[in-house]
Amino acid sequence: MRTAPLVVAASLLITTGCGQANSPPNSQPPNAQGQSPAFEQQTRAPAINSSVKLEQHVILDGLKHPWALAFLPDGQLLVTERPGRLMRVSPSGQATEVSGVPEVMAQRQGGLLDVTLHPAFSDNRIIYLSYAEPRGRGRNGTSVMRARLADDGGSLTDQRVVFRQRPAWESGLHFGSRLVWDNDNRLFVTLGERGHEKPRQLAQSLQTHLGKVVRINDDGSVPTDNPFTDRDGARPEIWSYGHRNLQGAAIHPQTRQLWTMEHGPRGGDELNTPQPGLNYGWPVITYGEDYSGEPIGQGITAREGMQQPRYYWDPVIAPGGMAFCADNCPSAWRGNLLISSLNPGGVVRLALEGDRVTGEERLLTGLGRVRDLDFGPDGNLWLVTDSGNGKLLRFSPAQ
């Protein structure tokens, strides 16, 4: 068991609407020249400025590439580290390693990834972990383990894998891996298409889990109302398809609709609201270009039968986690969506009207790579920074 020391750090006052704490969005030219949005404000929505004053608190540093955070009912947090550690952290920064995590393939983008609590955690103490699972002969894939967190919070027991992405692939890229619960206590799992030219084509195939959102019951079985349960040859877990690498997901607090964020190539990061059975286009359509500067496929952005993103970025924001701002967060942000950014870094705030983006603000850009974020029970914004000396940070409204 590893115990990390309490971190005591001076607070830092940040005003999000001025100075180095934010920067204007959409100030760089797009990578994919000549592409046009399908509708007004599908990209480069007007810049907005909330001028919210925040106080930064360093809760814990020395984390090894933290990937996700989840709040326990008692106010503590679970934080995953990509090399394969799960940490239980008190609000004051005392951290203890939780034993019993699965073996992970901790290379490139792979490792221990997301964590979420069962909706009935207070009664059953069950959590779920997603991770890059080694499958032999160099192959791997995203898997989801269900386990019970011991009463003292120090270990996992009754571990059982409830989902495995098929097929396995020899790749260290694009594991997707965000876990969120729908209103009926079914678990959405976001899955990447493994990054390379050959498997990326399988994002369009219903015979694989590559480049998909899937939905399962809490025991790993398939919900009877999933869209492809009656189609021969289709994977019954599939909810939507034609995705690239979804690393953000959240349920809208009012509509209960699933929203997702996925990485594009050079340009083309997408915000979507995946509907059951629909095709979101990758790699046939995209608002981006390959890393070589060449077009993806035919270089088209629309095709009949393929869905348009609600919003997209070019240049990218390299999205991580995302969270809706509900009633107990700063009033200027209520009803907004906050997204962690790996590149250029910081946090992206989107103002929304229904499912349309009406404004964008860049916050906290001096933090660098922000991997995940959420609003805590205290209404404060909590996030983790992705580095070999990663931090768990809390931002509270300035007094």
> Which residues are designated catalytic?
174
Alpha-carbon distance of 41 to 62, in angstroms, equals 40
Contacts by 321-324 with C-beta closer than 8 Å and gap 24+? 321/68, 321/178, 321/247, 321/248, 321/371, 321/372, 321/373, 321/374, 322/248, 322/249, 322/250, 322/259, 322/261, 322/373, 323/250, 323/373, 323/374, 323/375, 324/250, 324/251, 324/252, 324/253, 324/259
CA 166-128-250 angle, to 5 degrees, is 85
| 166-to-125, 133, 142 alpha-carbon distances in Å | 28, 12, 9
Instruction: Find tokens 């002969």 and name the residue.
Output: 137
Alpha-carbon distance of 345 to 389, in angstroms, equals 16
Instruction: Find tokens 């608002």 and name the residue.
Output: 287
DSSP letter string over 140-172? EEEEEEEEEEPTTSSBEEEEEEEEE-SS-BS-S
First-to-final CA distance of the chain: 38
